[in-house]
């Protein structure tokens, strides 16, 4: 194994470790919301520092690989994709932290009917699965799985689009839970962005393994339909 190969293997290992940490953050956040577990929410907030540390390390390692080895072809795509994926994972980590902070802001536990009517738990579940499946797609070189993110993101978009009406209804039905209803609304807005970040990651996975730039192709197709 060459020095470059060793560095790339280490880089990929760090990316996967950061990825798993972010998946765990999302899973714990959903559990904290479901069970109104403030201790678990605190843990998610505290662990955000680890996510940030991973981003700084991976950025630094990518810069070193560029400077020392001048990678080309597949190796270059791995480093470029790692930089962008790392940035998206950090943003998802921020979202997980923000949602946990919303749980901590609540005065009382969340009424189960509010969680059901707004579909936030369903949304949380889809978002968590998307991030976990992008990890699997990257690790298993499965671009077909990566492409499923584009369709699954629409589920999050739909829940987000209906959120205002559902939260308004929840406020009418549960006037003693106005604050919590508004917090749920804020959480939904945050979780919708997990889908966007997951799509971005999927595009980088396709770029890495297939050397295809999907992002600009989709934009041209959209402009052609207008």
Cα torsion through 60, 140, 206, 53, rounded to 10: -20
pTM exceeding the 0.85 threshold for the entire prediction: yes
Whose CA is closest to 120, among 187, 35, 174? 187
Grouping H, G, I as helix, E, B as strand and the rest as coil, residue 137 is helix
Structural domain includes residue 226: no
State the pLDDT at residue 219: 53
Tens digits of per-residue pLDDT, 86-142?
Answer: 999 999 999 999 999 999 999 899 999 999 999 999 999 999 999 999 999 999 999
Structural domain includes residue 223: no
Structural domain includes residue 115: yes
Tens digits of per-residue pLDDT, 49-77?
Answer: 999 999 999 999 999 999 999 999 999 99
Hey, what are 64's tokens?
């070193």
Cβ atoms 190, 151 nearer than 8 A: no
User: Which whole number is the average pLDDT over 196-212?
Assistant: 97
Burial code of 91-125, b = ≥16 C-beta within 10 A, e = fewer?
A: bbbbbbbbbbbbbeebeebbbeebbebbbbeebbe
Structural domain includes residue 73: yes
Structural domain includes residue 158: yes
Structural domain includes residue 224: no
What's the CA gap between 192 and 123, in Å, rounded? 8
Structural domain includes residue 225: no
* Predicted confidence band of residue 218 (pLDDT cuts 50, 70, 90): low
Structural domain includes residue 61: yes
| Domain carrying residue 57 | 3-218
CATH number at residue 180: 1.20.58.220
* Predicted confidence band of residue 226 (pLDDT cuts 50, 70, 90): very low
Q: Domain count of the chain?
A: 1
Tens digits of per-residue pLDDT, 1-41?
Answer: 799 999 999 999 999 999 999 999 999 999 999 999 999 99
Question: Which is more confidently placed, 160 or 214?
Answer: 160
């Amino acid at each position: 194994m060459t020095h470059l190969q060793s560095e790339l293997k280490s880089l990929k290992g760090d990316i996967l470790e950061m990825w798993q940490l972010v998946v765990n953050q999302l899973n714990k956040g959903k559990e904290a919301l479901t069970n109104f577990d403030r201790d678990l929410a605190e843990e998610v907030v505290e662990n955000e520092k680890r996510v940030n540390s991973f981003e700084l390390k991976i950025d630094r390692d990518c810069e070193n690989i560029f400077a020392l080895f001048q990678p080309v072809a597949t190796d270059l795509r791995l480093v470029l994709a790692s930089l962008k994926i790392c940035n998206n994972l950090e943003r998802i980590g921020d979202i997980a932290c923000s949602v946990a902070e919303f749980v901590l802001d609540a005065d009382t536990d969340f009424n189960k009917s509010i969680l059901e009517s707004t579909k936030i738990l369903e949304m949380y579940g889809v978002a968590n699965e998307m991030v976990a499946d992008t990890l699997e797609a990257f690790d298993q070189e499965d671009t077909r799985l990566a492409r499923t993110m584009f369709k699954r993101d629409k589920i999050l978009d739909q829940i987000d689009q209906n959120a205002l009406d559902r939260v308004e209804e929840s406020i009418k039905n549960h006037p003693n839970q106005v604050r919590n209803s508004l917090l749920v609304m804020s959480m939904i807005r945050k979780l919708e962005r997990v889908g966007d970040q997951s799509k971005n990651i999927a595009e980088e996975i396709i770029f890495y393994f297939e050397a295809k730039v999907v992002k600009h192709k989709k934009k041209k197709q959209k402009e052609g339909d207008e």
